[in-house]
Copies of this chain bind each other. A is one copy, B any other.
Amino acid sequence: MMRGRGLVNQLATLVVTILTCVWMTVPAYAEDGYDLWLRYTLLSGEEANAARPFVGGSVQLLADRSETINRAISELGEAGAAMTGLKISPHPQLVLARADRVESGSYLAEIRLVGAPEGAFSIRTARNGRIAITANDDIGLLYGTFALLRHVQATGSNEGVERFSAPAMPLRMLNHWDNPDGHVERGYAGRSIFDWWHLPEKLDQRMIDYARANASIGINGAVVNNVNARSFMLEPRYIAKLKRLADAWRPYGIRVYLSARFSAPRDIGGLDTADPLDPAVRAWWQAKADEIYAAIPDFGGFLVKANSEGQPGPQDYGRTHADGANMLAEALGPRGTVIWRAFVYSAEDETDRAKQAYAEFVPLDGQFADNVIVQVKNGPIDFQPREPFHPIFGAMPNTRLMLEAQITKEYLGFASHLAFLAPMWKEVLDAETGRMGSVAQVVAPAGLAGVANTGSDRNWTGSHFDQANWYAFGRLAWNPSLDSETIAREWAAQTFTRHPASIDRIANIMLGSRETVARYMTPMGLAHLMDTGHHYGPAPWVCDLPRPEWNPCYYHRADEQGIGFDRTVSGSDALSQYHPSVASQWADPAQIDPRFLLWFHRVDWNERLPSGRTLWEELVGRYDRGIAEVDAMTASWALLEDVIDPGRFRDVSQNLAIQQAEARWWRGTSLAYWQSLNNLPLPEGAQPVPDTLGEYRARRFPEAPGQ
């Protein structure tokens, strides 16, 4: 009896404890998104039992201990404990092996690793049930670890994890447009994550979590300051701060780069010139590079915005971009890379900004030093919701080119609009240049740079769905042949839920979202219609800014008759900068994908398109479709209430409500303005425009970031 009662009592206590525990695994408060896609939620009992031997943190190591290996092991430990509920896994069956420690003939030997690029890894399951991650280098083992964890998180199992993976390009980097005072240019997620003020004494936990997040998707470099750079960041005080970051990030394979202001020798060096051919200037940069490398042996190099939008550069001294870049490249030597931006529109051809960068850079092909990369934006204007790929891609066969994408959504609704950008980037990466294969192939020897969307907000990116763009950028830089849906689904599974129908729903919302934004903001190839300065909302009427190409009217060219920018031979002939095989798809207004129509052609409002509708009818229809799609996204999200934690569910819902209102604002404003020019009524069935043009024009947003 006593024994029985004791057992019953024990059981009762256990039940109480279990009640406690079951409760404890449900977050007391809503999730805030800080953990990004590395949430490591508890697997089901069966899944946990199966996964436990592989993600438990105990591994068999065929490699020397290193800081990077330690990070892999601690990540496995934390992830395993969180996913399986046990801190230490019994019977560990995971092997981390350096390829050079594997005997030939062993089941761990992986032929594809021979000559594979840095970071490549193989994951294979042996007949004895063990899983082995093999790589040529420690960072490959860390990447392989994250790949395994990603797969288990996303699917609940190690079954079907990728067998072999190698990065498609050497540089996969973020560009932070962060100023040292904490302001982020085009940032919509709070202040800068970099606390320059308190570095080097204080290293915020965010700096570690940032590196973890980047490493988990293969990002391996970060330019930590704005391309509109301040020279004092090259001073010794800042080199000490940079060193602290570099030391913290090194185990995660992240190299530190710095935006360098070209006039630094004048600004802080005591010289009276920054002429790149001046020996004193060259000596100053050489000494500066040596000083940096003494502190940071793996310093990545300099990113330079020169002779663009008021930034100093070699042209101030009658020198070329190549003269400037090569001077810095010499200072760095084989230790690092100069990344020189092609985002210039200073000039030669006043008729079309879209042509200017090509005109300035293509003649320099072959003149850049080996350790110079020219960084080219995805399109020829400036990160618009849709642009054709930049004509420089493929046109500089003797220059390493890097693609610059914008992760922060300066022109796609800031953080509050849901727009998944992978399809936009894929559109450019997959584009055939007609000369050197696809854009992805053109940039393969260099890499991808993404203008970061990170900030001090608890969710890092200002909204939960913008985390997906950071994630997708990293995944595509590693492997540009991944399709958008794969990325969306694996992100959604890790970030929100593994419930299959919900993943379908979330992926579905994501995949069309960028097209939706393009429809209600800049349909049919329109571009650059946003308000001045902060770039928030529409202002197609603006036509009085000092430089012509700063004005929306310069881009849409709308009047009573028609709308659009003629870039064919009858107009600016920007089309001729593309290879004929490429240009031909855009040359004929009757053949062109209508999503590019007004980018390349000027069309009368009443001209009838292949669809059978007039341009005006087609345009209004696309605005309306954009609105309808946002409404549908919102309705679809609402059905996820029981699946998503309440905090993030509400955050996203609130953003979608803003997006619904702002999509209508874009449509209403645009239509009211076009109507003020063409005097056409709205096509039958279209919703009326709720406000007058005067009311739209009177709106002011003094609190919009970037004001």
Contacts and interface: CB of A to CB of B under 8 A. Distances in A.
A103 interface: no
A182 B703 contact: yes
Contacts of A700: 232
A24 B21 contact: yes
Interface stretch (A134-142, A189-197, A591-599): A189-197
Interface in A183-216: 190-191, 196-198, 201-203, 205
A501 interface: no
Contacts of A81: 23, 28
A182 B706 CA distance: 11
Contacts of A205: 30, 32, 647, 650-651
B25 A702 contact: no
B21 A181 contact: no
A85 B28 contact: no
A14 interface: yes
Interface string A615-656: 000000000000000000000000000000001001100110
A661 interface: yes
A190 B658 CA distance: 24
A126 interface: no
Contacts of A191: 190-191, 456
Given A202-B654, A203-B654, A456-B457, A705 B86 contact: no
A704 interface: yes
Nearest to A85: B20
A87 B508 CA distance: 36
Interface string A81-109: 11001110000000000000000000000
4 closest A-B pairs (Cβ-Cβ)? A21-B21, A20-B85, A202-B654, A180-B703
Contacts of A203: 654
Interface in A19-65: 19-25, 28-30, 32, 34, 40
Contacts of A704: 197
A203 B230 CA distance: 36
A416 B16 CA distance: 43
A78 interface: yes
A7 interface: yes
A128 interface: no
Interface of A: 7, 11, 14, 16-25, 28-30, 32, 34, 40, 78, 81-82, 85-87, 180-182, 190-191, 196-198, 201-203, 205, 230, 232, 416, 456-458, 647, 650-651, 654-655, 657-658, 661, 700-705, 707
A512 B78 CA distance: 39
Given A180-B702, A707-B181, A19 B85 contact: yes
Q: Is the interface of A mostly helix, strand, loop or mixed?
A: loop
26 contacts: A14-B18, A18-B21, A19-B85, A21-B21, A21-B22, A21-B85, A24-B85, A28-B40, A28-B82, A30-B205, A32-B205, A34-B458, A181-B702, A181-B703, A181-B707, A190-B190, A190-B456, A197-B701, A197-B704, A201-B658, A202-B654, A202-B655, A203-B654, A205-B650, A456-B457, A458-B458
A85 B23 contact: yes
Nearest to A180: B703
A17 B21 contact: yes
A16 B88 CA distance: 11
Contacts of A30: 205
Given A81-B28, A202-B655, A197 B703 contact: yes
A353 B704 CA distance: 38
Contacts of A11: 11, 14
Given A28-B78, A201-B657, A86 B21 contact: no
A499 B532 CA distance: 57
Nearest to A23: B87
Contacts of A17: 18, 21, 85
A456 B188 CA distance: 13
A416 B32 CA distance: 26
Contacts of A651: 205
A455 B25 CA distance: 29
A458 to B, nearest CB: 6
Contacts of A657: 201-202
A230 to B, nearest CB: 7
A184 B7 CA distance: 61
Contact of A661 (B32, B180, B201, B705): B201
Contacts of A456: 190-191, 456-457
B24 A705 contact: no
Query: Which of A197, A661, A704 counts the most chain B CB atoms within 10 A?
Result: A197
Given A181-B707, A458-B458, 14 more contacts: A18-B21, A19-B87, A20-B85, A20-B86, A24-B85, A28-B78, A181-B702, A181-B703, A196-B703, A197-B701, A197-B704, A201-B654, A201-B657, A230-B702
Contacts of A201: 654, 657-658, 661
Contacts of A182: 190, 703, 705
Nearest to A657: B201
Contacts of A14: 11, 14, 18
A20 B32 CA distance: 23
Contacts of A230: 702
A193 B149 CA distance: 35
Contacts of A658: 198, 201-202
A270 to B, nearest CB: 14
Contacts of A650: 205
Contact of A19 (B20, B86, B647, B707): B86
Nearest to A230: B702
A533 B457 CA distance: 27
A106 to B, nearest CB: 34
A700 B25 CA distance: 49
A458 B17 CA distance: 31
A271 to B, nearest CB: 19
Contacts of A198: 416, 654, 658
A132 to B, nearest CB: 27
A661 B197 CA distance: 14
Contact of A705 (B29, B32, B87, B197): B197
A24 B24 contact: yes
Contacts of A458: 34, 458
A702 B241 CA distance: 14
B24 A25 contact: yes
